Amino acid sequence: MLTDISQDTMMFQRDSIKKDVATALAEVSAALREKGYDPVDQLVGYLLSGDPTYITSYKDARMVIRQFERYELLEELVQHYLREEK
Protein backbone atom coordinates (compact mmCIF):
# COMPACT_ATOMS: atom_id res chain seq x y z
CA MET A 1 0.00 0.00 0.00
CA LEU A 2 1.29 3.45 -0.90
CA THR A 3 1.72 6.11 1.72
CA ASP A 4 -0.19 9.37 1.41
CA ILE A 5 1.80 11.67 -0.87
CA SER A 6 1.02 15.36 -0.70
CA GLN A 7 -0.65 16.72 -3.81
CA ASP A 8 0.17 20.31 -2.94
CA THR A 9 1.97 22.38 -5.52
CA MET A 10 5.49 23.31 -4.54
CA MET A 11 6.24 27.03 -4.52
CA PHE A 12 9.40 28.13 -6.29
CA GLN A 13 11.37 30.53 -4.09
CA ARG A 14 13.52 32.74 -6.29
CA ASP A 15 15.15 34.42 -3.28
CA SER A 16 16.68 31.15 -2.13
CA ILE A 17 18.47 30.77 -5.47
CA LYS A 18 19.78 34.31 -5.26
CA LYS A 19 21.31 33.59 -1.87
CA ASP A 20 22.95 30.53 -3.35
CA VAL A 21 24.33 32.53 -6.27
CA ALA A 22 25.64 35.24 -3.95
CA THR A 23 27.24 32.62 -1.70
CA ALA A 24 28.77 30.84 -4.69
CA LEU A 25 30.26 34.07 -6.03
CA ALA A 26 31.73 34.86 -2.61
CA GLU A 27 33.25 31.36 -2.30
CA VAL A 28 34.70 31.43 -5.81
CA SER A 29 36.08 34.93 -5.28
CA ALA A 30 37.77 33.85 -2.05
CA ALA A 31 39.31 30.77 -3.72
CA LEU A 32 40.63 32.89 -6.58
CA ARG A 33 42.17 35.40 -4.14
CA GLU A 34 43.78 32.60 -2.14
CA LYS A 35 45.43 31.28 -5.30
CA GLY A 36 46.73 34.76 -6.17
CA TYR A 37 44.28 35.65 -8.93
CA ASP A 38 42.27 38.85 -9.30
CA PRO A 39 38.66 37.65 -8.88
CA VAL A 40 37.25 40.47 -11.02
CA ASP A 41 39.48 39.66 -13.98
CA GLN A 42 38.88 35.93 -13.72
CA LEU A 43 35.11 36.19 -13.27
CA VAL A 44 34.78 38.65 -16.17
CA GLY A 45 36.82 36.29 -18.36
CA TYR A 46 34.54 33.41 -17.42
CA LEU A 47 31.32 35.38 -17.87
CA LEU A 48 32.34 36.70 -21.30
CA SER A 49 33.78 33.50 -22.72
CA GLY A 50 32.06 30.69 -20.82
CA ASP A 51 35.48 29.05 -20.49
CA PRO A 52 35.61 27.41 -17.03
CA THR A 53 39.41 27.45 -17.00
CA TYR A 54 39.23 31.09 -15.90
CA ILE A 55 38.09 29.72 -12.54
CA THR A 56 40.48 27.76 -10.36
CA SER A 57 39.59 24.22 -9.36
CA TYR A 58 41.01 24.99 -5.90
CA LYS A 59 38.36 24.39 -3.21
CA ASP A 60 36.02 23.15 -5.98
CA ALA A 61 35.47 26.75 -7.12
CA ARG A 62 35.05 25.69 -10.76
CA MET A 63 32.39 23.15 -9.82
CA VAL A 64 30.61 25.71 -7.62
CA ILE A 65 30.42 28.38 -10.34
CA ARG A 66 29.29 25.92 -13.02
CA GLN A 67 26.17 25.05 -11.02
CA PHE A 68 24.69 28.28 -12.38
CA GLU A 69 24.04 29.60 -15.85
CA ARG A 70 26.11 32.65 -16.71
CA TYR A 71 22.99 34.79 -17.00
CA GLU A 72 22.09 33.90 -13.39
CA LEU A 73 25.51 35.07 -12.23
CA LEU A 74 25.24 38.28 -14.27
CA GLU A 75 21.75 38.91 -12.95
CA GLU A 76 22.93 38.64 -9.36
CA LEU A 77 25.91 40.90 -10.00
CA VAL A 78 23.79 43.59 -11.66
CA GLN A 79 21.11 43.43 -8.98
CA HIS A 80 23.76 43.71 -6.26
CA TYR A 81 25.37 46.66 -8.02
CA LEU A 82 22.06 48.48 -8.41
CA ARG A 83 21.15 47.89 -4.73
CA GLU A 84 24.52 49.30 -3.64
CA GLU A 85 24.13 52.31 -5.92
CA LYS A 86 21.02 53.63 -4.11
Instruction: Find the angle CA(71)-CA(73)-CA(78) to the nearest 5 degrees.
Output: 90
Cα–Cα distance measured from residue 79 to residue 47, given in angstroms and rounded to the nearest whole number = 16
- Alpha-helical runs (H) found in 1-86: 14-34, 39-49, 61-65, 70-85
Q: Can you give the pLDDT of all 86 residues of the chain as single tens digits?
A: 555 566 777 766 666 666 699 999 999 999 999 999 999 999 999 999 999 999 999 999 999 999 999 999 999 999 999 998 87
